[in-house]
Homo-oligomer: A and B are copies of this chain.
């Protein structure tokens, strides 16, 4: 009950604060963002002091050095936060755009106009920079925000929250327009996820574990990223030099992210020529290679481990790759649609028909021809910002920019029309 009351307070306060921001023009919203930048720079000392508290507590609690590093804010990271907010400021205001419109035979004039969702809940893990990033994206898109960060970063998040509230107050917007959740108890989260009357969408930003928990509890629609089991298929008509460069880039350039390749599929007619070279290049990039029987036979003595059935459905997020040989493009398409996560899959080919079939038949949010899966990203796609990469089909699919935090309303104008 205690938490229910607190969740309700957060939800109702956000809903009450929301209309003022929904109505705010682009100038006012950018003024808040500019004030956040100024205050971030001015309040460096108090932010660092709060961050220090978190680091000391984290060390005491036995956090790994990698986690402590993620938690840490230094001058360079603060500068990056400011730059991030400035980038959001530079984006065009998505609100008020007319999507389409027409006139009906009875004279009614219709249009669909882009509007904010209303209230957005963002749940994230240890990196405190998400507090500023998420607040900037929500403010720019006209949405009140409830930001629920990791327990380890609570002092830092509250210091950043103070910066945001002061900027809101300076510009005459309600302080609850952006709320940084003070309670670190995990029991609050499922309570927040019941508030579909007050919160319009929840965006989890974190690993699959976090997303799964939210999926299990949420009665609020989600914009979510679950997993990225991305494939590169090297067709019989591939440029094999290009294929090798892309394969190494897709796997090894940054293996811990969702758009890295997890499985390489190779057409049997190029297997003998392609596999030994690509395995050598992958090994040089420190990738552990697992292969099916054909791969292991072709690459005998090259240290290819056997791939189990489980490998085809595994998101390694690491320097590990499974390789399979397929008899045809049909088998490649079927494998990807079955074992993949419908995130991002690429074909390497010179053959128009193969490219066309792949584009049409792969049921993934991003389907690529002759490019690295690593490009699947809001910034690389030119969206200017990234809310996340959605693995859902509903609302927003693939990289999601500011528009993902908006909806539309129908405006219908007449001169007294009634229905008969």
Binding site for B on A (CB under 8 A): 19, 22-23, 102, 104, 108, 110, 115, 117-118, 200-201, 215, 219, 221, 239, 242, 245-246, 249-250, 253, 337, 355, 359-361, 363-372, 374-376, 380-382, 392-395, 397-399, 407-420
Contact = CB atoms under 8 A, between A and B. Distances in A.
A409 B397 contact: yes
Contacts of A367: 409-412
Nearest to A117: B393
A259 to B, nearest CB: 9
A410 B366 contact: yes
A239 B415 CA distance: 10
Given A382-B102, A409-B367, A246 B418 contact: yes
A363 B116 CA distance: 10
25 contacts: A23-B360, A102-B382, A108-B375, A108-B380, A200-B393, A201-B393, A201-B394, A221-B221, A221-B392, A221-B394, A245-B416, A355-B413, A365-B410, A366-B412, A367-B410, A368-B412, A368-B413, A368-B414, A369-B411, A369-B414, A370-B415, A371-B416, A371-B418, A372-B419, A375-B412
A412 to B, nearest CB: 4
A338 to B, nearest CB: 10
A337 B398 CA distance: 33
Q: Nearest 5 CB-CB pairs, A to B?
A: A371-B414, A249-B418, A374-B419, A242-B416, A221-B394
Contact of A381 (B200, B242, B410): B410
Nearest to A220: B394
Given A19-B363, A22-B363, A363-B409, 20 more contacts: A104-B381, A110-B382, A117-B393, A118-B393, A200-B394, A221-B392, A253-B418, A355-B413, A366-B409, A366-B410, A368-B411, A368-B412, A369-B412, A371-B416, A371-B417, A372-B419, A375-B412, A397-B407, A397-B408, A399-B410
Contacts of A417: 370-372, 375
A363 B397 contact: no
B375 A409 contact: no
Contacts of A110: 381-382
Contact of A413 (B337, B360, B370, B419): B370
A115 to B, nearest CB: 8
Contacts of A239: 416
A92 to B, nearest CB: 14
* Residue of A200, A359, A371, A399 with highest tally of chain B CB at under 10 A: A371
Contacts of A380: 104, 108, 419
Contacts of A412: 366-369, 371, 375-376, 381
A78 to B, nearest CB: 26
A382 B111 CA distance: 12
A337 B366 CA distance: 38
